[in-house]
Amino acid sequence: MKQDSNIPYKIYLEESEMPKSWYNLRADMPVKPAPLLNPETFEPMTAEELGTVFCDELVKQELDNETAYYPIPQEIRDFYKMYRPSPLVRAYCLEEKLNTPAKIYYKFEGNNTSGSHKLNSAIAQAYYAKNQGLKGVTTETGAGQWGTALSMACAYLGLDCQVYMVKVSYEQKPFRREVMKTYGASVTPSPSETTNVGRKILEEHPGTTGSLGCAISEAVEAATSQEGYRYVLGSVLNQVMLHQSIIGLETKAALDKYNITPDIIIGCAGGGSNLGGLIAPFMGEKLRKEKDYQFIAVEPASCPSLTRGKYAYDFCDTGKVTPLAKMYTLGHGFIPSANHAGGLRYHGMSSVLSELYDEGLMEARSVEQTAVFEAAKMFAQVEGILPAPESSHAIRVAIDEALKCKETGEEKTIVFGLTGTGYFDMVAYGKFNDGEMSDYIPTDEDLQPGFDSLPEIPNQ
């Protein structure tokens, strides 16, 4: 096995080298992301309005487009020490397998029980809730990654955690449900009889197995109807991207330590939290014209919000209880095909990333799922880590770019985000192993019902 004498397989920062502040990319954006709008007045949401749903400090972070660095509170830094710094791994074995002159690195966020990067924001959001003297938080979860992360953070801080879990996952993926319960969370299958919006949905669609959009609506209602509770969300929001900047800051510190400058930075994109966090400090340099990088967002061909969506104001949920966000969206009425196996099934995309993409500062690619699982299997076999289907979207494009380098002979340095592990995704892997997985690319007609659900905004 070849190994550059001065570059270890895995770069771990020392505790003393870990970032002490989060970085707020919005501070360096010449054009700020569009503000959240009140869906009734179409006026920008005020801190007061947002404060009924979110914790005060998180509202501040959500609205703050100016402060570049937020010191990370000591208690959050202590929690980070339990599973961070995460390793930046040189993919020597993958490079050898591909016989490419490219140098490939991945930032691996899966070495924790939640199995993903979601914990970085979960602990921050739980901390601010606790700090405000709240009793607990509510949230939704699909397959359970975010719910698991939040339940871990709440257990650590002694905060109540109420999770609305999409019913089909609650029933068919009981393992993550049990992880959440082991961490003391209460987990309710959604739609449920515990909320007005849940009861309404059940009445209109008896026997429905639920959706992420429904679960968001229920969790928001649960937060606003209980004394001492607030709602928290694992992606899409500006505050989440702020917390996730820890990924990019650690990555940059590790690269700088060894004088490595990446050419291409790649991340999978669902709501955008991982990608946004990974690229933040690098994009900051690009915006400040200090350095240039190529950024690639990778999304599923079956849920192509960046590559085929519209840049428009839309609701963040199906039940239309949230504010309006300007984003690349397939419409809040969009429902991914049952054929689609993994996560990354959200109809919209972070406003920050949407703005950057719209300005041409970042590229986007869509990939089909059998090609994604092929990349996942190859990666698992040579690098030893069984990747999450979501993360494997980034692996796919990293491999594609490395193979291009093989053609051209270029020794590009490629960095991608390996957001998590696939241990709870073995049903999808099993389908792939048995040759039962197929691809699906929606036609323009398939996408139309989602676009038809877009709200009409005066003067947009």
Q: Out of 27, 68, 155, 371, which residue is the one contacting a copy of itself (CB under 8 A)? A: 155
Minimum CB separation of residue 234 from a copy of itself in Å reads 17
CA distance 70 to 56: 15
CA distance 108 to 309: 29
Q: Out of 44, 71, 174, 228, which residue is the one contacting a copy of itself (CB under 8 A)? A: 174
Q: Which two tokens stand for residue 431?
A: 């389908």
Name which of 155 and 202 has its Cβ closer to a copy of itself.
155
257 binds a copy of itself (CB under 8 A): no
82 binds a copy of itself (CB under 8 A): yes
- x/- binding map, residues 428-447, to a copy of itself, per CB under 8 A? -xx--x--------------
CA distance 257 to 198: 51
382 binds a copy of itself (CB under 8 A): yes
178 binds a copy of itself (CB under 8 A): yes
CA distance 236 to 152: 21
Q: Out of 386, 395, 398, 437, which residue is the one contacting a copy of itself (CB under 8 A)? A: 386
Q: Out of 30, 207, 384, 458, which residue is the one contacting a copy of itself (CB under 8 A)? A: 384
Neighbours of 6 (CB within 10 A): 7
460 binds a copy of itself (CB under 8 A): no
71 binds a copy of itself (CB under 8 A): no
Q: Out of 44, 135, 175, 449, which residue is the one contacting a copy of itself (CB under 8 A)? A: 175
Minimum CB separation of residue 155 from a copy of itself in Å reads 4
Residues 91-110 interacting with a copy of itself (rule: CB under 8 A)? 93
Name which of 72 and 330 has its Cβ closer to a copy of itself.
72
CA distance 430 to 324: 39
22 binds a copy of itself (CB under 8 A): no
311 binds a copy of itself (CB under 8 A): no
Q: How many residues bind a copy of itself (CB under 8 A)?
A: 48
Name which of 18 and 335 has its Cβ closer to a copy of itself.
18
